[in-house]
C-alpha cells in the first residue's frame, strides 16, 4: 500500500467492501488484487464505495483474477492504492483532462450578446464582464455548492487566462 493515510475511515470502508469480493483477507493484499479500469465524469455528483459523497470523477476498478468490476470509486480513494494502480490512474486521468480541456475550450457561452463566444474569447473581448463572472457563485468550484458544475475549474482557468492576456 502507499505510504500515506491508509487508516482513514473512508478507505477502511472501501477495503471492507472490496474484501467481500477478494481472495485475500489482509487489507494490504486485498488492494493489490485490483487494477484501474476506466475513468469518467458525471454531471451528477456521486457516492464512492467508501461512502464519500460529491465525487465527480468516477473510476472503475477490476479484480485481476475474477474480472469483477467495482464502481464508482472516487479519485482520492484511487490514490490510496498501490503504485501500479496509481500509475494506471494517472495515465487515464491525463488523457481525460486533455479531452476535457479541449471540450471546455470550445464550449460557447450560449447567452446574450456573447452567445457565439467561448469563455476565453469573452475574457479577451470584455475582461470586466469576465471578472464579474468569476465573482458570482455560478462559477464556484465548491462541489457542495448548488450551482457546481464539473467544468467550473476549467472555465475559471480560461476566464483568468483571457483576463491576463487582455492586460498585456
Q: In this predicted structure, what is the pLDDT of residue 2?
A: 40
Segment (H or E) for 45? strand 34-47
Q: In this structure, are residues 49 and 70 in contact, taking their beta carbons and an 8 Å threshold?
A: yes
| pLDDT tens readout for residues 24-72 | 999 889 999 999 999 988 777 789 999 998 888 899 999 999 999 999 9
The three cell numbers locating residue 114? 456573447
Q: In this structure, are residues 42 and 95 in contact, taking their beta carbons and an 8 Å threshold?
A: no
* Dist. CA 168–CA 43, nearest whole Å: 36
So where are the chain's domains?
A: 9-102, 107-167
Listed range (80-84, 87-91, 138-142, 162-166) with the worst mean pLDDT:
138-142
**72: preceding bond cis by omega (within 30 degrees):** yes
CA distances from 136 to 37, 71, 129, 132 (A): 37, 34, 11, 7
Amino acid at each position: 500500500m502507499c505510504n500515506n493515510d491508509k487508516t482513514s475511515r473512508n478507505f477502511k470502508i472501501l477495503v471492507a467492501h472490496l474484501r467481500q469480493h477478494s481472495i485475500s483477507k489482509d487489507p494490504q493484499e486485498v488492494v493489490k488484487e485490483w487494477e484501474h479500469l476506466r475513468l469518467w465524469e458525471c454531471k451528477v455528483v456521486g457516492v464512492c464505495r467508501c461512502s464519500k459523497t460529491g465525487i465527480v470523477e468516477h473510476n472503475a476498478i477490476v479484480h485481476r483474477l475474477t474480472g469483477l468490476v467495482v464502481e464508482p470509486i472516487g479519485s482520492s480513494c484511487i490514490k490510496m492504492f498501490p503504485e501500479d494502480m496509481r500509475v494506471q490512474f494517472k495515465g487515464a486521468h491525463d488523457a481525460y483532462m486533455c479531452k476535457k480541456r479541449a471540450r471546455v475550450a470550445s464550449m460557447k457561452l450560449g447567452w446574450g450578446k456573447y452567445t457565439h463566444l467561448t469563455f476565453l474569447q469573452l475574457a479577451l473581448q470584455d475582461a470586466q464582464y469576465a471578472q464579474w463572472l468569476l465573482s458570482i457563485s455560478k462559477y464556484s468550484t465548491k462541489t457542495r455548492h448548488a450551482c457546481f458544475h464539473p467544468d467550473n475549474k476549467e472555465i475559471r482557468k480560461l476566464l483568468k487566462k483571457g483576463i491576463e492576456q487582455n492586460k498585456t
